[in-house]
Copies of this chain bind each other. A is one copy, B any other.
């Protein structure tokens, strides 16, 4: 090591120890063990300009072991990374010494785990293990795709590399196995995972549960694998990174054997993982590293200049060259340059939504997965960087892009727009997150039931505020014969509970169009599209209100045919809206006036002013029936205590849909029966919870055990 190499590394260690010690909380051990690797990568290899941390062709560094956040905060501080404001203007430092001193305190730019959107230089929110490495696969895919679309013989706009630093925990999580398998198949030679193998987790040494041969596993995935036997050996680290940079057909795993809490009295102990070392141990460790033990947050003279001369100088020069290239590129290829610039601002091409179709009324109609397929294809033709794939369900979810030139994204076809994620839902969503972090507009699709498998990554879309479109079809007992393992019940409520996620369940083809119009314009919010397997009538808007009401989340679709104040409100989403319309007609024949409200997106409706909400759901009309083939949780907000919900509070069953509709009470007879009862009981006493509609007259929603039911 040169003096400044070791001085810089030990400075990082000191800052990490101090930040955790001062916060009285955090994870000191991992940064101390892996600091030499992170230092070497940043100082000597990472193409990153601290003065412009969102330069599009920067190398990405994802701290997948997000609990080691102090390492990242130290690097952002020492390298002088700048903050960027909402208008993409570059401001002062992203992380100040005061931020480090207030690590994990309210308002600090140094929170407990890296949070994208809160601190410049953070490429992805991490902490939930396995997510960071999986998102890095999405970033690497983006890099390959961007290169294929935008690079020209005379101009290389995109050739960035993606690094992810992962711990033992990341390697154990299933999501990273899925992502690694995809990365190997896709031969992502621009991807490098650094596995910080300190063999210590919270419960103890990895010997107690994690004895597989990780290197052999990654070779089986088709990766290049290399090993650094000692995390403090900078030459070995350089050789390993060179091995990655020389590799042209495989992603690279660098296994680094490190020591948690290196240099401290707690070295190699689980106690170094998740708690401050203690004041005395910090002092002793500083002495061991040649740092003054009476100073905290100590940065020796010259260290920041050293970084400025390393990563700083290299990054600025590289970016300046890129800017010059881009200027020429913009002259030669103005349309492509415009795409690149719009993409960076998360804007779509001008007039992107002019292509959206209008579906004529059709009593037979089509499944919303089918209408969405048409809309998606038209949009994707208009928006070249809208791309995605499915978790092995594209023929069912209908998300394949079929237009001329769409093609598959594969090792030999990097410009393809269709990704095959395989039966790997969690990685699919995480990869989509990674693609969104590199400013593409990604989507992925699966059955709604399998949103459960992907929840960890969906949550990160919402927390990071990136506009991923999660497309979920087969959205109810409409699945039919596949039965309760495949029929979602609780997934709608679960997704609605997630802050920052827009959940759409459109009722017909034109609501699908309006949904995509809203979703397309989102810049900082993910959306979940919940679509039917079965055909739904395309509603006749000449006699009903228009589907543009989708943008307000819920809207009056139809008032009583006879006019006047409605006696009852029928509230529904998706496939149940047509059912509500049928019930409205039957009720009219009985002289009961029913209003039908379509509620495709609760989150948008809840954001409307009270006046609009009261207009759609007049407070005076307390007879209200909510209808949705899903858990009733949450419906009380709209139906109130005098209302009722026809929903699913049990699992479904394996049978053709028609039988299930009767069994579970989704028939016009049942809706009108419930509505009539509510109207007859008016006025009811207020404040009495009426959790759900009574079960259908035909029998309880939970069927009695069939003969031979096995009580195992």
Contact = CB atoms under 8 A, between A and B. Distances in A.
B420 A208 contact: yes
A611 interface: no
Chain A to chain B: the 10 pairs with minimum beta-carbon distance, closest first: A174-B174, A83-B708, A111-B654, A127-B485, A686-B686, A177-B177, A216-B220, A490-B497, A106-B655, A493-B497
Point out which of A88, A408, A494, A498 has the most chain B C-beta atoms below 10 A from its C-beta: A494
A348 interface: no
Interface in A454-469: 455-456, 459, 462-463
Contacts of A449: 128
A637 interface: yes
Contacts of A109: 706, 708
Nearest to A126: B485
Interface stretch (A282-290, A333-341, A581-589, A687-695): A687-695
A621 to B, nearest CB: 7
Contacts of A705: 86
A708 B92 contact: yes
A209 B221 contact: no
A501 B174 CA distance: 24
Interface string A424-440: 10110000000001000
Contacts of A561: none
Contact of A640 (B25, B408, B633, B689): B689
Given A84-B710, A116-B712, A655 B493 contact: no
Interface stretch (A230-238, A258-266, A390-398): A390-398
A116 B710 contact: yes
A650 interface: yes
A126 B20 CA distance: 46
Nearest to A105: B655
B211 A184 contact: yes
B394 A706 contact: no
A85 B709 contact: yes
Contacts of A500: 650-651
A617 B33 CA distance: 56
Contact of A497 (B86, B631, B637): B631
A434 to B, nearest CB: 13
A423 B631 CA distance: 31
A438 to B, nearest CB: 10
Given A212-B222, A221-B217, A172 B181 contact: yes
A14 interface: no
A113 B486 contact: yes
Interface stretch (A241-249, A351-359, A363-371, A656-664): A656-664
Contacts of A691: 606, 637
Contacts of A128: 449-450, 453, 485-486
B112 A486 contact: yes
Interface string A602-613: 000010000001
A168 interface: yes
Nearest to A129: B423
A376 B508 CA distance: 51
A159 interface: no
Point out which of A109, A168, A452 has the most chain B C-beta atoms below 10 A from its C-beta: A452
Interface residues of A, number: 155
Point out which of A94, A116, A181, A437 has the most chain B C-beta atoms below 10 A from its C-beta: A181
Nearest to A111: B654
Nearest to A710: B120
Nearest to A96: B708
Given A172-B392, A174-B424, A216-B220, 19 more contacts: A26-B481, A83-B710, A91-B707, A94-B710, A127-B482, A173-B178, A175-B453, A184-B211, A213-B220, A217-B217, A219-B220, A453-B455, A489-B499, A490-B499, A617-B689, A619-B686, A633-B633, A641-B641, A642-B687
Contacts of A493: 493-494, 497, 633-634
A204 B38 CA distance: 41
Contacts of A485: 66, 112-113, 115, 125-128, 463
Nearest to A207: B185
A185 B209 contact: yes
Given A221-B212, A654-B111, A456 B463 contact: no
Interface in A194-233: 201-204, 206, 208-217, 219-222
